[in-house]
Amino acid sequence: MELVLKGGTIVSSNKCFQADLRITGEKISEIGSDLDTTDGVIVDISGNYVFPGFIDSHTHFDLDTGTTKTADDFASGTKAAIVGGTTTILDFATQNKGETLSHALSIWHKKAKGVSSCDYGFHMAITDWNEAVAKELAIMKEEGITSFKLYMAYENLRVTDAQIYQILKHMNEVGGMVGMHCENGDMVQERILELKAKGNLTPAAHPLSRPSIVEAEAVNRYISLAYLTNTPVNIVHLSTKEGLTEAMKGRERGQKVYIETCPQYLLLDDSCYEKADFEGAKYVFSPPARKPEDVECLWKALSEDKINTIGTDHCSFHFKGQKELGRQDFSKIPNGIPGVEHRAALIYTYGVMKNRITMEQMCKVLSENVAKLFGLYPRKGCLQVGSDADIVVWNPDYEGTISAAHQIQNVDYTPYEGMPVKGRAERVYLRGNEVSYQGRVIKENTGMYLPRTESLYLM
Ligand SMILES: [Zn+2]
């Protein structure tokens, strides 16, 4: 089966140019002008941009937090992803204490297999480090897991500084990349107790429990440990100006420090926690939404290519029945928000259309850099002959409004309710098959597991 997409403007990380694309089977087979086909289909896409399929390297689908379970599983989450133009997601398989990494991986394979509508891979979150787990790192690599995740906060997930140091040393041997949740867990715990003792129990206490310095200190500590071990590192969901300053210090002394931020840190600020009727709970995620000056600082860093990727940290809980678990105590509100569906539209509308970043930069932070950093390039992350035909035909003229009433994400609200957006994924192709058209899923469950190679390290 052959397909020619005709008349679009192709977006790459360094230019936008007019060209037609030929797709043969699952791959891009030709890029050029005036392409024709005798036995295939021609789709006129003039007036549209063409991006490589977007990659979201930060989702939590089908995750049990101990008190509740995320609203989206792999079925609903990946459908939401593809309508928004995201053709690959990387989710976090998470080791439970006392269990092996292999066991965690087998559980995540079960969650995703046969029900994923976009291609997928896993990072492995290590929560229980010991010698046996150290030996498993090589097995993980054979299984296509080349990136890992550690937490400096959350009682049930966090590892110690000594463990971080040891894990980073092992990463040099296996060539793995460690993403870190950078917040000082002890400080967060202490401040939660303090706030509760003073009777501060509403969502407004959430940002007070984890101020900017809690992130900045953890970023500094993480890159200091990585300096000692000489290991490249990734900082996930960076949210503050102070955190960015600390990360840049690492780069200035020659370290490979990669940075991810998320749409919530680019579009929301901490005024959201003041909403009445417990509505502030809809914005309880960690790190929390910050000040307007942090928001501007992160956009500036994106425009200067200092931030490498934008993932969503999609971790959805219903307002009714789930966020409400913390009605009497903000620290019991499940942490996380939905976002996998709306990432590209938000970044296009509030980034590209507001001249904060270019189309080429959007291509980099949503696709190319992500593919390179996580061992998927050039199969994913670019439109090149031989690459998977994961393609987003982007209609720049579409105008709409984000609303929970017509989202695909299986959750009863969106933190972006009522926000106008311009542009949408008009047609989305996954390995040559059209899987979404004008915001509707037209082909589901065709996602494949992606074993990954080592990171290509961006700089
Ligand atoms: Zn996360």
How far away, in angstroms, is 303 Cα from ligand 1 center? 24
Count: domains in the chain:
2
213 CB-side CA count, 13 A: 4
Same domain, 361 and 235: yes
Same domain, 18 and 92: no
Same domain, 31 and 89: no
Same domain, 360 and 213: yes
Range of the domain at 82: 54-373
How far away, in angstroms, is 91 Cα from ligand 1 center? 9
How far away, in angstroms, is 41 Cα from ligand 1 center? 41
Same domain, 283 and 389: no
**381: its two tokens:** 């992350």
Contact 123, 147 (CB under 8 A): yes
> H or E element: which one contains 242?
helix 241-252
Same domain, 68 and 34: no
Dump pLDDT digits (tens) for 390-403.
999 999 999 999 99
pLDDT for 457 equals 83
Residue 86 CA to residue 368 CA, distance in Å, equals 12
How far away, in angstroms, is 58 Cα from ligand 1 center? 6
**98: its two tokens:** 């006392």
- What average pLDDT score do residues 367-373 get? 98
Is 27 among the domain residues? yes
CATH of the domain at 114: 3.20.20.140
Same domain, 60 and 25: no
How far away, in angstroms, is 394 Cα from ligand 1 center? 27
CB atoms within 5 A of ion ligand 1 belong to: 313
**Mean per-residue pLDDT of the chain:** 97
- Integer angstrom CA distances of residue 339 from 134, 317, 375, 417: 34, 11, 24, 11
How far away, in angstroms, is 183 Cα from ligand 1 center? 12
pTM confidence score: 0.98
Same domain, 240 and 183: yes
pLDDT top residue among 458 and 318: 318
Dump pLDDT digits (tens) for 56-79.
999 999 999 989 999 999 999 999
How far away, in angstroms, is 334 Cα from ligand 1 center? 13
Is 11 among the domain residues? yes
Same domain, 41 and 112: no
pLDDT for 459 equals 67
Is 355 among the domain residues? yes
Tokens 């030929």 -> residue: 22
CATH of the domain at 437: 2.30.40.10
How far away, in angstroms, is 44 Cα from ligand 1 center? 39
How far away, in angstroms, is 60 Cα from ligand 1 center? 7
To the nearest 10°, report the CA torsion of 245, 251, 257, 258.
Answer: 70
3 state DSSP class of 265? helix
pLDDT band at residue 276, thresholds of 50, 70 and 90?
Answer: very high
Cis peptide before 52 (omega within 30 of 0): no
How far away, in angstroms, is 38 Cα from ligand 1 center? 47
- What average pLDDT score do residues 316-326 get? 98
